[in-house]
Structure 1
């Protein structure tokens, strides 16, 4: 049996977070999908508000958000799914779009009896989060888009391909060998970490499975595809967080999202950071997430308290809050 440093580290992290109350849940959906989700809830009364963390294309739930669990878990109930064909989630369906991913995550939350949630999505997970916010406004209270080019066009990757010397963006996202994987990492993060080649090889072998299915996922992306319908706007408050040195989605993509969403969108740029703020600048990212999410929680709660009683139900439906006057319905 092959010894894996990467798998050992993942096992240690899983054991640690399990000791801190993070539970593994597997949910069978009626559409033939199985969703795996890490759940951290408390028995506090009223319940803590719920936050959904949606990982990007190069990760699963735990590896994508490991450095956010501690900080966010103090204030929120956390739901951290593996998207389909990442981690332990899979499907028998032939659907491969990020819209289908959004529907599966929504159905998973229904099964977990989550009535309202604040969504944070990184990169590909931002695509999923965007569609969740658009299609299920009664569920999604607000959205945080982290380094996710939801306003991208079919030509958005052209400059990156020229810089890397590649002809197909799929070869960048799903490298076939250690040399290409290191090239991908070098263009993903601001400062390339030095690691021996066997670690990069180990990571590829541990995390690089299901290549064919992931290629299908990439080909199925609706955002930025040719002949795609115009991108809808959102009704929720949106925070956009971007690494200033992101080479995957350049900073101009963040400004395009802000213009598209309008006055409900706020942009925060993290200095000396590439495409993965959750790993490169976790303290800065956590600070911005907490500030925004706690502000949303406070402002929406105060709005309810100031709203005439006969209008509260309408307001709660419009913001995705529960029906109880004193607590949010986010029970597990």
Structure 2
């Protein structure tokens, strides 16, 4: 039944301009550079970086594992797939195939001059699942990445086996939102100058901003992470976790909630605990799917 729905979704998306699923040649830093950079991450094994061509743009991603359920990791705002530095291999080693993507406009992925919206990013994730992964996935998203995967699961449920939200952005109760269609746009001189003046200030503030997101283990906000965030752009100090949890419990009776003593990025701050939760959840869902 799932395969039939996936085939129908593929047919409906025939208008997409998509290139090869992946290829090892990088546009920019090569695989060796990506691998050596990741060797600086604590406990992370060498990870190769590939590029997929979606809607005419290059998206950076990695894939680890040869068998088991498919898992897609989606980062938050200002991050990149390497933010899952201590999750990719441990989850794959538990018998999963793990993809981690860097969204358009971030990290080593292309940064076209288009109007960025939640729907655009969700559509790119949809395209990635169909063209690169090729089967329904367990979606994992942190911060705004959680918001995007929620949209994917809501609009194209045949592509999502389950959803794991790690301090997700977005409203619990749907509200009204205007999503303009993506289009080319020019940057005004004033906006360009303002961005140039703001960047030095953000560079100085970044260490303290990132450490505020790691209250349980500030050492995890290390030089590697700070340097990578400078390249890409820039208990949870960002989202109101307590009120959001209360609303989730009120409106979604079947939801499973795990509370951790961590900040906005628990997957990087407490990777062992989060990896166990992810793997245990996927095993539970897979066992239920076998009974269907």
- Above 0.5 in TM-score? yes
Q: Which residue of 1 aligns with 2:63?
A: 39
Of 6, 12, 28, 2:39 maps to 12
Residue 68 (1) aligns with residue 101 (2)? no
Misfit runs of 4+, over 4 Å: 202-206
Of 140, 143, 151, 2:160 maps to 140
Residue 299 (1) aligns with residue 288 (2)? yes
Where does structure 1 lack aligned partners over 5 or more consecutive residues? 1-6, 154-169, 215-244, 304-332
**Contact (CA 8 Å) 1:33, 1:104: kept in 2 or not?**
no
Per-residue deviation, 1:285? 0.9
Query: Using the alignment, how far apart are the partners of 2:291 and 2:104 within structure 1?
Result: 37
Residue 98 (1) aligns with residue 118 (2)? yes
Query: Using the alignment, how far apart are the partners of 1:269 and 1:70 within structure 2?
Result: 23
TM-score (norm 2): 0.69
**Contact (CA 8 Å) 1:187, 1:248: kept in 2 or not?**
no
Provide closer, same or farther for how the CA distance between residues 95 and 41 of structure 1 changes in structure 2, counting only shifts above 3 A. farther
Query: Using the alignment, how far apart are the partners of 2:247 and 2:276 within structure 1?
Result: 24
Q: Greater relative contact order: 1 or 2 (C-alpha under 8 angstroms, separation 6 or more)?
A: 1
Deviations 1:176-195 (A, max 9, x none): 34542233124312147369
Provide closer, same or farther for how the CA distance between residues 203 and 288 of structure 1 changes in structure 2, counting only shifts above 3 A. closer
Q: Which residue of 1 aligns with 2:258?
A: 268
Provide closer, same or farther for how the CA distance between residues 24 and 182 of structure 1 changes in structure 2, counting only shifts above 3 A. closer
**Contact (CA 8 Å) 1:48, 1:77: kept in 2 or not?**
yes
Deviations 1:254-283 (A, max 9, x none): 3324434x1231111012x11111121111
TM-score (norm 1): 0.61
Residue 151 (1) aligns with residue 141 (2)? no
Query: Using the alignment, how far apart are the partners of 2:52 and 2:246 within structure 1?
Result: 37
Q: How many residues align?
A: 232
DSSP 3-state at the match of 2:253? coil
Per-residue deviation, 1:286? 1.2
Query: Using the alignment, how far apart are the partners of 2:154 and 2:200 within structure 1?
Result: 32
Deviations 1:58-79 (A, max 9, x none): 32101x1111122210221011
Per-residue deviation, 1:92? 3.3
RMSD: 3.1
What are the equivalent positions in structure 2 for 1:252-263 lying under 5 Å apart? 252-260=243-251, 262-263=252-253
DSSP 3-state at the match of 2:120? helix
Per-residue deviation, 1:57? 1.3
Per-residue deviation, 1:150? 2.0
Query: Using the alignment, how far apart are the partners of 1:8 and 1:116 within structure 2?
Result: 28
Query: Using the alignment, how far apart are the partners of 2:35 and 2:162 within structure 1?
Result: 36
Query: Using the alignment, how far apart are the partners of 1:181 and 1:152 within structure 2?
Result: 29
Of 199, 203, 210, 1:185 maps to 210
Query: Using the alignment, how far apart are the partners of 1:287 and 1:84 within structure 2?
Result: 29
**Contact (CA 8 Å) 2:263, 2:269: kept in 1 or not?**
yes
Identify the range of structure 1 (32-41 vs 182-191) with the bigger mean alpha-carbon deviation: 182-191
Deviations 1:224-272 (A, max 9, x none): xxxxxxxxxxxxxxxxxxxxx1121122223324434x1231111012x
